[in-house]
Copies of this chain bind each other. A is one copy, B any other.
């Protein structure tokens, strides 16, 4: 297909496609004449992935480049490719190894992950996010008990194993698997969070209307 058709197929404007080509995010089409190039299904998939990383993942171009490099690196297995995208999507939390309270919070998180026997690398960004949350709770004078953290971990694991298994297509093109991972991690993360807040409101309403001590 020509660039105008690629644009129509993906809803990405031609000037944007040209920008991605110049930036090397999108591989060039097959040159069929001095002024014309032919694009294929691989370009459609790649553009979809770029848009998902940009619009859904809100990643900067440099991070998108890293994710695409992993997708293109045939020496990497799928778990590593998906992991690269997964880590890039994590909210940025600045580790503060100079702060003793921060180190203690991070150690508590690491201990919990060990106790749970979860297979997570030491540099998973979610460890730092959890350390930050644990630190915040301590500073507010409402420290998280290990039991409460573990209870959230179990609920999260149940969500993942019961509802998030099988949604990533591993046997198709890598681009499609990574795109599905972005959507699962980011959009369904937002969906769960919004559902949780609706459920909180509903449970609270039920309790107050029931009268008496609303617990």
Contact between chains at B86 and A129 (CB < 8 Å): no
Given A170-B213, A183-B137, verify A152-B195 contact (CB < 8 Å). yes
Q: Establish whether residues A152 and B201, one from each chain, have CB atoms under 8 Å apart when the complex forms.
A: no
- Is A157 interfacial (CB-CB < 8 Å)? yes
A77 to chain B, nearest CB (A): 7
* Chain B CB within 8 A of A40 CB: no
Residue A168 at the chain B interface, CB threshold 8 Å: yes
Identify which of B113, B151, B164, B187 contacts A200 (C-beta below 8 A). B164
The reply to whether B48 and A126 contact each other, CB–CB distance below 8 Å, is no
Classify chain A: how many residues form its interface, as a range. 35 or more
9-residue interface stretch from A14-22, A67-75, A203-211: A203-211
Q: CB-nearest residue of chain B relative to A118?
A: B202
Q: A83-126: contact bitstring with B at CB < 8 Å (1 yes, 0 no)?
A: 10010001000000000000000000000010000111100101
User: Most chain-B CB neighbours within 10 Å: which of A78, A155, A165?
Assistant: A155
- Count the copies: 2
In the complex, the answer to whether B159 meets A163 with C-beta atoms within 8 Å is no
Q: Main SS of chain A's interface residues?
A: helix
Are B166 and A159 in contact, with the CB atoms below 8 A? no
Q: How far is the CB of A88 from chain B (nearest CB, A)?
A: 12
Measured CA separation A168–B191 after assembly (Å): 24
Known pairs A113-B198, A152-B192, A155-B163; A133 contacts B187 (CB<8 A): yes
Query: Given the complex of chains A and B, what is the CA–CA distance between A192 and B129 in angstroms?
Result: 11
Q: How far is the CB of A201 from chain B (nearest CB, A)?
A: 5
Q: Which of B52, B127, B199, B215 contacts A157 (CB 8 A)?
A: B199
Q: Is the CB of A156 within 8 A of B198?
A: yes
Contacts of A90 in B (CB 8 A): 197
Given contacts A79-B208, A130-B194, A166-B215, 6 further A-B contacts (CB under 8 A): A83-B201, A90-B197, A119-B206, A137-B183, A153-B199, A168-B215
